[in-house]
Amino acid sequence: MRVFNFSAGPAVLPESVLRRAANEMQDWHGSGMSVMEMSHRGKEFISIFEKTEADFRQLLNISSDYSVLFLQGGALAMNALIPMNLLGDKTTADYVNTGEWSKKSIQEAKKYCTVNVVASSEDQGFTYVPAQADWKLNRNAAYVHICTNETIGGVEYQWVPDKSDVPLVADMSSHILSREIDVSSYDVIYGGAQKNIGPAGLTFCIVRKDLLGRALDITPTVFNWKEQTEHNSMVNTPPTYSIYIAGLVFEWLIEQGGLVQIEKMNIAKANLLYEYFDSTQFYHSPVHKADRSRMNVPFWLQDEALNEKFLSGAQQRGLLQLKGHRSVGGMRASIYNAMPIEGVRTLVDYLKEFERSHG
Ligand SMILES: *Cc1c(COP(=O)(O)O)cnc(C)c1O
């Protein structure tokens, strides 16, 4: 039996995608092979790869000015690869610090350049996004880095920073494909796949082609965006099976009506939770209303002594992985694209029931 899995990542995938992958596991489209067993240069896999990239481009409306790469190493590897690929002859980069994932990006970048933290919401426990008017940007920075959805803190940009001459780099790991975005407002968009796309390890990188060619000499070839662009992400063997699963998820998204429909559904799902939290004293949501994430919803029980009881009751109802991240505590419901609205309704029913019996 399937549960409602509120994990922040790796996370729930559409059931129909899992069923299809299961059906095709041993014999993909009459090839007599599993996708896992195919040569990455053979015509079968190339057809999967090309469709996957085309669907990703279609969903996000990515123009030919951008290279789309499917790499490995996850978003944390990208924390090193971003300075390596973008510094060129510059020595500094700007970072906005909105929480745990921003902090990791900053820490790693410091190994390669001087990092200027140009704005931070640490003063209020990372519960908001600092307004762009308060960012102390540097004209000489190689780029400015933001995390547009802080998976742990549940803080999401509901606006797009104004463009400047300094390239804008965004970690979108945990909300890519959850809403419409204008890709041309960014210069690099990257993330790990395991929140909204597919298996962990697969890493997507959407990069403006005119930024290619700035890599430091020490950049490993397999992580050099220019090399990978020239070789269609196949300098090395790409994560073939993960790319195939991502392709099935993209097809599923297109069947759902694309990002317009998905975004509507995500707004409806998030509203069910936030409206309830705003109507009661028993639970509370720590994030400023304007910056609340539609994907990751942290919440606290007013009486934290009830946490264990809350979690075990949830588990009995098939509502899993609601415990907040170990670094911040509390609870967190991650409600990615593949979480059906029935899952969120079941959670809200349980929240109410638990409040009635313990409030
Ligand atoms: C999950 C996550 C990461 C880390 O991804 P890995 O695949 O573990 O490297 C980085 N940034 C954000 C915003 C995330 O949600």
CATH code, domain with 329: 3.90.1150.10
Looking at 255, 286, 320, the residue that finishes a domain is 255
Of 101, 135, 252, 300, the catalytic one is 101
79 Cα: distance to centroid of ligand 1 (angstroms): 10
CA angle 166, 169, 172 (to 5 degrees): 160
Same-domain pairing of 206 and 278: no
Q: Flag whether 264 is in a domain.
A: yes
Pocket test for ligand 1, best of 72, 107, 151 (most atoms within 8 A of CB): 151
Same-domain pairing of 228 and 266: no
Q: Flag whether 188 is in a domain.
A: yes
Please, which residues bridge with residue 298 across strands?
332
Q: What is the pLDDT of residue 102?
A: 98
Same-domain pairing of 123 and 141: yes
Q: What is the pLDDT of residue 1?
A: 82
Looking at 221, 255, 289, the residue that finishes a domain is 255
Looking at 210, 236, 255, the residue that finishes a domain is 255
pTM of the model: 0.98
Same-domain pairing of 292 and 234: no
Q: What is the pLDDT of residue 359?
A: 82
Same-domain pairing of 42 and 23: yes
Q: Does ligand 1 have an atom closer than 6 angstroms to the CB of 108?
A: no
100 Cα: distance to centroid of ligand 1 (angstroms): 10
Sign of torsion over alpha carbons 274, 280, 285, 291: positive
Same-domain pairing of 162 and 285: no
Same-domain pairing of 204 and 324: no
- Long-range contacts: 248-253, Cβ < 8 Å, 24+? 248/17, 248/20, 248/21, 248/198, 249/13, 249/14, 249/17, 249/197, 249/198, 249/338, 250/52, 250/55, 250/56, 250/59, 251/55, 252/14, 252/16, 252/17, 253/55, 253/59, 253/177, 253/337
Pocket test for ligand 1, best of 72, 146, 149, 173 (most atoms within 8 A of CB): 173
Which ligand 1 atom is at minimum distance from the Cα of 203? 7
Same-domain pairing of 249 and 273: no
Please, which residues bridge with residue 320 across strands?
5
155 Cα: distance to centroid of ligand 1 (angstroms): 14
Split into its structural domains, the chain has a count of: 2
Residue with the smallest CA separation from ligand 1 atom 2 is: 173
Helix segments in the chain, DSSP class H? 15-24, 43-60, 74-86, 100-109, 225-230, 240-255, 258-278, 307-316, 341-358
Same-domain pairing of 182 and 153: yes
Same-domain pairing of 208 and 299: no
Q: Flag whether 3 is in a domain.
A: no
Q: Flag whether 269 is in a domain.
A: yes
Phi and psi dihedrals of 210, rounded to 5? -75, 0
Q: Is 245 in a helix, a strand, or coil?
A: helix
CATH of residue 90's domain is 3.40.640.10
Q: What is the pLDDT of residue 327?
A: 86
Residue type, 202: L
Q: Is 209 in a helix, a strand, or coil?
A: helix
Residue type, 263: E
Q: Flag whether 2 is in a domain.
A: no
Same-domain pairing of 90 and 186: yes
Q: Flag whether 347 is in a domain.
A: yes
Q: Flag whether 8 is in a domain.
A: no
CA angle 169, 200, 340 (to 5 degrees): 95
Q: What is the pLDDT of residue 328?
A: 87
Q: Does ligand 1 have an atom closer than 6 angstroms to the CB of 151?
A: yes
- Domain range for 144: 15-255
Q: Flag whether 47 is in a domain.
A: yes
Whether residue 131 contacts residue 137, with contact meaning beta carbons closer than 8 Å, is answered with no
Q: How many CA atoms lie within 13 A of 190 on its CB side?
A: 30
pLDDT in tens, the chain (359 residues): 899 999 999 999 999 999 999 999 999 999 999 999 999 999 999 999 999 999 999 999 999 999 999 999 999 999 999 999 999 999 999 999 999 999 999 999 999 999 999 999 999 999 999 999 999 999 999 999 999 999 999 999 999 999 889 999 999 999 999 999 999 999 999 999 999 999 999 999 999 999 999 999 999 999 999 999 999 999 999 999 999 999 999 999 999 999 999 999 999 999 999 999 999 999 999 999 999 999 999 999 999 999 999 999 999 999 999 999 988 889 999 999 999 999 999 999 999 999 999 98
169 Cα: distance to centroid of ligand 1 (angstroms): 15
Same-domain pairing of 28 and 155: yes
As a whole number of angstroms, the distance between CA 346 and CA 316 comes to 12
Whether residue 12 contacts residue 338, with contact meaning beta carbons closer than 8 Å, is answered with yes
Residue 171 catalytic?
A: yes
As a whole number of angstroms, the distance between CA 309 and CA 51 comes to 47
208 Cα: distance to centroid of ligand 1 (angstroms): 22
